[in-house]
Structure 1
Amino acid sequence: MSLLSRERFIAVLAPTRVTLLRAGPGRPAPCGACDCEGGWNGAVDALQGLLREAGARRGEVTVVLSSHFAHFRLVPWSDAISSPAELDAFARIGFEDVYGAVAAGWALRISPEAAGRPRVAVAIDQALLERLHTIVEGAGLRLASVQPYLMAAYNRLQPSLARDDFVFAVAEPGRCSMLLARAGQWLSVRSSAAADNEHAVAALLERECELNGIGDPQSGPVPPVFVHAPGRAASAWPAVEGVAPRALTLGSGDDPWQDMALAVA
């Protein structure tokens, strides 16, 4: 390998496990992993150690964040908003209404949508982003991007989804995040703690459908349901409002954190 060549790493941060992989031709190659505790601070500490062990001094790191470390909200359309700054402020108010003053210290990213349509907003603790920059740059690398896994998985799997109407769930270990779309617009986004079994995920999806009027006689048929569960082999999922979900996979199902890295590989 040339001394001037740049390496690309993918780091997957979850509450109990951090995995570092080296990207290249073919599948990313694992180059370190360790258990952790203590929230995102503990996960970032673990990543710092893994980067030190990897010994890379030239290249970049893409970080995939478990949905445990992100917050999601649907931002309704408002004709009164006329600038990106106003949109950001409007979305931030929504987070603060739910989470309180702590949301003032979160960094926001809002999905681009056509005029008149709701948007999906994701919030990440600004202090987490700053620590990631500090440890990655301290290792002599560049932080290329930080991607919440729900959005990374959706972007990678979107071609497999129905175009205008669908129910999409990402079942990470200990958490289920859900996106609902109807008539080509976002209807709902939610992330909840969940037991690691198919019936618990199906129950959360049914509840989310009921909260949004999906399955009511007046709402028409239930749209296609898709479930992505990193680390689980494709299997038959319990029906959701009478619809059998389709399993979408990225990896072999052997290791959830290695599978999660494939969304950005």
Structure 2
Amino acid sequence: MSLSSPKSYTAVLGAHSVGLYRRLREGSELLGRAEFNTAQYPAWPAAADALAALLQAHAQAGGELRVLLSNHFTRVLLIPWVEQVTSPQELASYACICFEDIYAEPAAGWTLRLSPEAAGRARLAAALPDELLGRLQNQAKSVGWRLLSVQPYLMAAFNRFSTAVAQDDFLFIVAEPGRSSLLQARDGHWTSARAVSLANSDAALNALIARECALQRLDSAESATVYLHTPGRLEPFDSVAAQHLDRLWPLGQGDDLLHAMSLVVN
């Protein structure tokens, strides 16, 4: 019987390409990456096919796999507190109703993961395609690996940087190319969770921050701190819109978007 620890891997399903990394004590090592066709909608089946080929090419028995999903493939929403919802089953049903109300489509076919919160507080929810989760589980199994987690990028990034977000009032932005995801809190309570399509430029990002700060000032005399995570972008970003802006790691990690994304996975 081998006493060595199983090798650990991270797969990143980006908006246009997939990367497979071996997790090291410090950082990660690229094993392979592949582009996929984004013309079809949804694009995640093509991403899953690209990952399957990478797994087959680099399979070694006994591996452990964590998968990070681009915000392009997940949906985020806020589940308001309702006193009448008292059981896990009622909460799950209520979350599905909220999903259908926001996205105007049935919640069937999506897995909703809710953040644990104290009574009286709204919860964050991330929705992941059921079929994609099933395919990832089968792909890992087919190469003899154990699938440890499938993490939405927005949630993984917030968890990674949570110790740096030392404020009860903040706006947390993950500016992934083509899509920015936002979490907002006031007095330690979640107040908003959403994603918007956004061009990959400083001008577009500044416009988004300016709009959000203007909305904050409607609710409060002082703007909250903006925490900004821009994976794969090394150039300086100076917001002309935010009074308090804190740009979060990773910086100086190269311009490889998928590698930068992989580093947030715990």
Instruction: Tell whether the structures are fold-level matches, with TM greater than 0.5.
Output: yes
8 Å CA contact 1:234, 1:247 repeated in 2: no
Match of 1:223 in 2: 224
8 Å CA contact 1:11, 1:63 repeated in 2: yes
Match of 1:48 in 2: 52
Code of the aligned partner of 2:236: S
Aligned partners of 1:233, 1:159: CA distance in 2, in Å? Answer: 22
Residues 163 and 102 of structure 1, relative CA distance in 2, 3 Å threshold: same
Tell me how many residue pairs correspond in the alignment. 260
8 Å CA contact 1:73, 1:122 repeated in 2: yes
Aligned partners of 1:78, 1:239: CA distance in 2, in Å? Answer: 39
Tell me how far 1:193 sits from its aligned partner: 1.2
TM-score by length of structure 2 reads 0.92
- The percent identity for this pair of structures is 42
TM-score by length of structure 1 reads 0.93
1:95-134 counterparts in 2 under 5 A? 95-134=99-138
Q: Is structure 2 residue 164 aligned with structure 1 residue 163?
A: no
- Runs (4 or more) in structure 1 with deviation over 4 Å come to 2-5
Match of 1:238 in 2: 239
Tell me how far 1:257 sits from its aligned partner: 0.7
What CA RMSD, in Å, does the superposition of the two structures yield over aligned residues?
1.7
1:64-103 counterparts in 2 under 5 A? 64-103=68-107
Aligned partners of 1:137, 1:207: CA distance in 2, in Å? Answer: 46
8 Å CA contact 2:224, 2:244 repeated in 1: no
Match of 1:254 in 2: 255
Aligned partners of 2:17, 2:69: CA distance in 1, in Å? Answer: 11
Q: Is structure 2 residue 40 aligned with structure 1 residue 36?
A: no
Tell me how far 1:3 sits from its aligned partner: 9.2
1:174-193 counterparts in 2 under 5 A? 174-193=178-197
CA displacement, residues 88-130 of structure 1 (integer Å, 9 cap, x when unaligned)? 1111101112323442210010011111011111101101100
Aligned partners of 2:101, 2:246: CA distance in 1, in Å? Answer: 35
Residues 28 and 3 of structure 1, relative CA distance in 2, 3 Å threshold: same
Listed as ranges, the gaps of 5+ residues in structure 2 are none
Q: SS state of the match for residue 202, structure 1?
A: helix
Aligned partners of 2:206, 2:123: CA distance in 1, in Å? Answer: 25
CA displacement, residues 56-85 of structure 1 (integer Å, 9 cap, x when unaligned)? 221111000000011111111000010111
Aligned partners of 1:198, 1:92: CA distance in 2, in Å? Answer: 36
Aligned partners of 2:119, 2:5: CA distance in 1, in Å? Answer: 44
CA displacement, residues 163-189 of structure 1 (integer Å, 9 cap, x when unaligned)? 201111001121100111110001111
Q: SS state of the match for residue 214, structure 1?
A: helix
